[in-house]
Structure 1
C-alpha cells in the first residue's frame, strides 16, 4: 500500500504542474464528513470537495441510486437515445430554480460548461455580444470562464488573449470599502463610457462570491441589478455553482433576495460527487439556440442524473436547508468568539447558511491581508486532522464548506481543531 508521501512523489513526476492541490493528503476512503488517507489517518472534511458533497460522502441513498442505474446502462448519449432520468431531472430543476416560469433546462458535465452555455444562450436570445461580470468573481477555467473571472493569478496569467466583449466591474464588498452604490455606479459608468447597454447580452453574478472570498452580494444590490437589466433588455445570469443546493440555507442563494434570474448555472452540489451541471432559464430564453447548438457527448450522464435525483430527495427528506442554517450558526458563533478574543488576526467573519468564511489579517487596525498566516493555518490544520480551503483575491480567507449532513459533534470537533490550529499558526508565523 503506497503512503501519501510516495504518492505525492509520483504525482510530482506524472501530473502537470498547473494542477494544484490544497493538501498533500491522498484519500483512501470517505464517509459523510470524514476522510481517511492512504496512511490511515482520519480527517474531518470542511471542504466537501469544494461544496460538491453537500449531502456528505457516500450517502447511502445516492450510492443505491447509482448502483441501480449502473445495472441498466452507463452511457447512451442523450442526443442519440434520450432517457427518462434526464427529462424528469429537467422537470425538477425547472420547478425549483429561481427563474420565472415556464422554464427549461439543459444538462452538461462541469460548472465551466454551464457558464459557457449560459453565455451562448444569452447571446443567441438577445443577438448581442457583450457580457458583464464582477471583480473577484470566478466562473471557470475555460477561455470564456477566464474572461469572465475577476482574478488574474492564478486563473488568467499566461493564458490570454481572451474572448472579446467581456467587461468587468466592481463587486460590492463592504469590508474592503466598496458599497452597493459604488458597484452600481461602476456599471453605469461602463454603460456611459465603454459599452452601450444595447450591446450587452447579459450580466453574470454570484449571489455569494465563491473563489473570490465568500463576499455576499447585498440583497438590495441584486434587486437594483435586476431593475437595471430589465431597463436595458439585458439578461441576468445567476452563477449558483457554489451557492446552490441548500448550501446557503435556501436551495439557491438568489432566493434570499427575492430576485428571479433569467438564467441560472448550477453544478457542484447537484449530483453528490458525480460530474453534472445544469442551465435552467426562462423557456423563451432557453429555446433561442438552434437544435444541435447545445449539448455534449457526456452531457447529462445517466449515472449522474440518477445521483442528482437522489440528492434532491435527500435535501428535501433530511431538511438540509434548515440544517445548513444550523451548521452555519455554529461556525459563525465560534468564529465571532475567536474574532473577539485576544487574537488580533481576524478581520471579518461572514456567512449565509453554511457558506461561511473568516478573513485573516496582519492586524485588525490595518486590515492588511495575511496570506502567509492563511497558508500556515491550512498546513497546521491538516497536521491536526482537519481539511480546510482558502479563497479570496488576496488568498487570506478560510472558507467553511462542511457537508450539510455532518453532526453537531463533528462540526464542533472540527471547530475545536480550527481554533487550536489558528493559535498555533499565529505563533509559527510570528
Structure 2
C-alpha cells in the first residue's frame, strides 16, 4: 500500500487543537478558557495536569509547522482559541490574539501547507461559562459573533473551515457526565447544550458562507460502530440508543432530518421540548464536507441498573480484543463499518477522516521511540480506508491525530497520540518511528 494508491487528489494532513498544544494560557491578553479553570479546580485530570504550558506551540509554532512540512503532509488543521481572540467571549477583540493566528496562517502558507481552521475545539471562554455556557440561550449570539470575527479577519487567506469539533464529545462529557470541562452533569444540561450546539453548527456554516468567498466548509463528528454484545433484544435495543446519541444526534439535524427520535422515546420528549419546525429548518446546513473522527468501536450490553440509557460497555481487553494504551479496541473492520453507515445517508457530502490515531505507552530511549504498535494501527486503518475508496465511497482525505504528544483532556499528559514524542519537562520534541513511517508512506 502506497499513498499514491489513494489517488492524486486525496488530501493528507495532520491535526492539533489550541487548548491541547498552545500553552501561554495568560500571555498575549488571552482570557481563561473552561479547560484552564476546570483543570485547576476539578481534581479530574490525571496527575493534576494543567494546560497552561502544554506543548508551548504558542512560542514554537514555526518549528512545529516545519515538522508538518518535513513529514510530507499537505494540510495543517489547527483551532482558534476563542478566549485568545475574545478574552471575555464577546466584546472587543484582542489584537495580540488575532495577530498570533495571522502568524500561524502565514507560516503555513509560506511552507506551502493548506490551513484548515477549526473554530470550536472544546475551549469555551470561561466568562461565557459563567453565563451558563452551552446550556444558555445567549451562547448562540456569542458564537455567531466569534465566527464572524474569524471569518472577516482570516477569510481572505483561509478557505477551509471546520465549524465544530466532536459536538457529542463536549456535550456529553462536559454537560452530562461531568468528566470534562466545565464539569456539569444531568440530562437537562446535556439536552440544552445539544440543542444550542446543533443550532451553532448550522449558523456557523451560514456565516462562513456569507463572509468568505470560495469557502470550503465542514464540521466534524466523533463516531463509533456500536455493537450489541449478544443478539438478545435488550442488547440490540441499547445499541440502537447509543447509536442515536453517538452517531446520529448531530449529523441528522445538519442533513435536515431533525433529531433521531424514532428509535428512542427519550429523544422524542427532547424533540417536543426543543425542536419546532422553524428550528429544525435552522439546524440544516449544506456542508461541503463532513469530518469523521473514529478511534474505536463500542460493544455494549443491557444493564437495567444504569440510569436512562441502561447500557454498559464491554471493554476490549475483557473480550481479548486488540486494544490501544487507552484500552480502545483496534478494528479496521469497524472503522470501515461506521464510515459506510455515514456514507449511506442521502445527500451526504464528501467525507474526510478529520482525526484518526492511537495512544500507546511510548518510551523515549536514547532519543528514539520505537512505536511499532502505532505503525501497525495506521497500516490496518489505512488499508480499510483504501478498500472503501476502491468501492467508490466519496472520501476526500485523511488527517492524523496528532503531530505531537499533548494535553489530552482528562488524561492530562499520560496519553501519547503524537507522531513526535514531547518531553513535558523541556518541551523538546523527538520524532517517533511512526513519524518516520509516515514520511516514507507519503513519499510513496
TM-score (norm 2): 0.29
Greater RCO between the two (CA within 8 Å, min separation 6)?
A: 1
TM-score (norm 1): 0.30
